[in-house]
Amino acid sequence: MSEAVLGGRYRVEARIGAGGMAEVFRGFDTTLHRTVAIKTLNAPYARDASFVERFRREAQAAARLSHPNIVATYDSGADGTTQFIVMEFIEGRTLAEFLASGKRLTPVQATEIAEKVCDALTAAHGQGVIHRDIKPGNIMVTREGAVKVMDFGIARMVSGPETAPQTSVVMGTATYISPEQAKGQPVDARSDLYSLGTVLYEMLAGRPPFVGDSSVAVAYKQVNETPEPPSVHNPDVPPRLDAVIMRALAKNPANRYQDAAEFRADLERVRRGQEVEATPLLPLAGEATQVISRPRSTEVLPPMIDPPGTGRKVWLGILIGVLVVGVIAGGGVLLANGLLGGKTTPSVALKPMPKLVGLDQTAAIAALKKAGFTKDPVITTQISTQTAGTVLSQDPPETTPTQTDAVVTLVVAKAVKQVSVPNLSTLTADQARTALIAAGLKPGAETTAPSTAPIGQVIGQTPASGTPVAKGTSVSFVTSSGPAAVTVPNVVCLTLGNATARLSHAGFTAANGGPATTFNATCPPGNSRIASQDPGPGPQPPGTTVTIFTNPPSPSPTPSPTP
């Protein structure tokens, strides 16, 4: 692959990393003359249509995202049988590489990194993209200290038919997956927040919340066990930060932070020494009691009660089965038929899926029941300008023949949070971006305009300061490019009075430099005419001093020689 050119443009230079299904190379964009990172799908998977489709979904999901804390995606395509994605090249190392050295971060350092990951997740979730694999290996820290979230390889867009096959697939890394991921249930943005909680825990404690002899053992603990607070492993962790992390690691998504901005706000309070909104969570038993009313979306698998050596083996076997069935998805029926010697499961009636998009959530559920579907739908929310509770999308889509015992997924509009636009005037561009992100808004277009304000200072913004807007709204601003240049008029050969008046009218200051050293014979007679000026005609900042020099007395004519 080295020295190959993909798409007639991207020269592959050196392999810099590899994963289960892809490799990453340093490359060079021969059109824009910049270093890039190129991810290619490994050969065995490039021949599998499902893996190719997943790889393309990664490019689509990543291309929707533009944020300082997310690795940018520039391009994607295919060159023969090679599928590739072109990304921003980052010089630095992953958080996993740092933690592998046995080092721990201070609470302040860990909190600052987590805040920046929250900023990245706020941007991704705002575009309907759930990462689903937040872990130290996917968090890059550059040499300048910038934090970049990368690898949306298993990201899922929360709406759209392309995600339908992924609904029940168990994906992610066992050490960092949420309980609902471990059980193969549908996930939403709060699953990413759980994973970030595990990463923050490891940055402080020097180890993740749960460890085990196998991925299955760790997944079991994610579902059933309550972690020790990180301060047990690191006494430098303050109680407020303990509380924040334990809230992020709640088994029940309803008990976690509900969005990344809320998580970030509590982290910032920790850093500033303020009281946090998080409170110590109830024990697992108490937490399970709180969610009895909604067992479908929040149930926790019961603790192991069988005698040692039997129940655990049974549980592990069941969990392995769940993971395998989740990964192979539709192939489960064929596998079961083969094991049963050709026996088939009882058939389930198929009915056309009713149109649910546009209905109120309650009306949509009623329509499902009326149409003969027996299970309650899975509800996820998405910020939208539509009325809260309105169904934005459905899976399966309208008219699709569907088994009556199938679980239907509905994406429902979430009320838009209103925030006040901060005052950006007098801030620099960097400060303005930081202020907007802290307020839950997105930095929009940045333009410049002439102004007497210092260069780089914000001189205007849209929407205006104090305007209530939806959370996540883009705010554009204008910075000063310095005073606009004005053309110095040509005053040579004008009288001293006229020259002074014309310069003053154009916004310049006239200074009399006295007689010029050279006589200007092109000017009319008279010592008050301007022989020269400095600076001469041309663009200059307003207020510039223009020195004018009057014509010296004309030289006496040379007398003719006496005959």
Dihedral sign computed on CA atoms, order 230, 115, 380, 124: negative
Structure token digits, residue 549? 């020099």
Residues 385 and 390: their CA atoms lie apart, in Å, by 10
Sheet with 34-41, side-by-side order of all strands: 5-6, 10-18, 22-29, 34-41, 82-88, 73-79
The closest of 468, 469, 459, 463 to 444, measured between CA atoms, is 463
CA gyration radius for the chain? 34
Residues 199 and 141: their CA atoms lie apart, in Å, by 14
Q: Work out whether strand 409-414 and strand 378-383 pair parallel, antiparallel, or are unpaired.
A: parallel
Compute the CA torsion angle 246, 247, 252, 257 (nearest 10 deg): -150
Q: Would you list the DSSP string of 37-61? A: EEEEE-HHHHT-HHHHHHHHHHHHH
Active site residue 75: no
- The angle, 0 to 180 degrees and rounded to 10, between the axes of the packed helices 311-328 and 215-224 is 100
Residues 475 and 465: their CA atoms lie apart, in Å, by 10
Residues 257 and 20: their CA atoms lie apart, in Å, by 31
469 SS3 class: strand
Q: Work out whether strand 22-29 and strand 82-88 pair parallel, antiparallel, or are unpaired.
A: unpaired
**Planar angle of CA 74, 79, 83, nearest 5 degrees:** 65
Catalytic residue, from 75, 119, 133, 395: name it: 133
Q: List, in order, residues 6 or more apart from 369 with CB less than 8 Å away.
A: none
Residue positions annotated with a catalytic role: 133
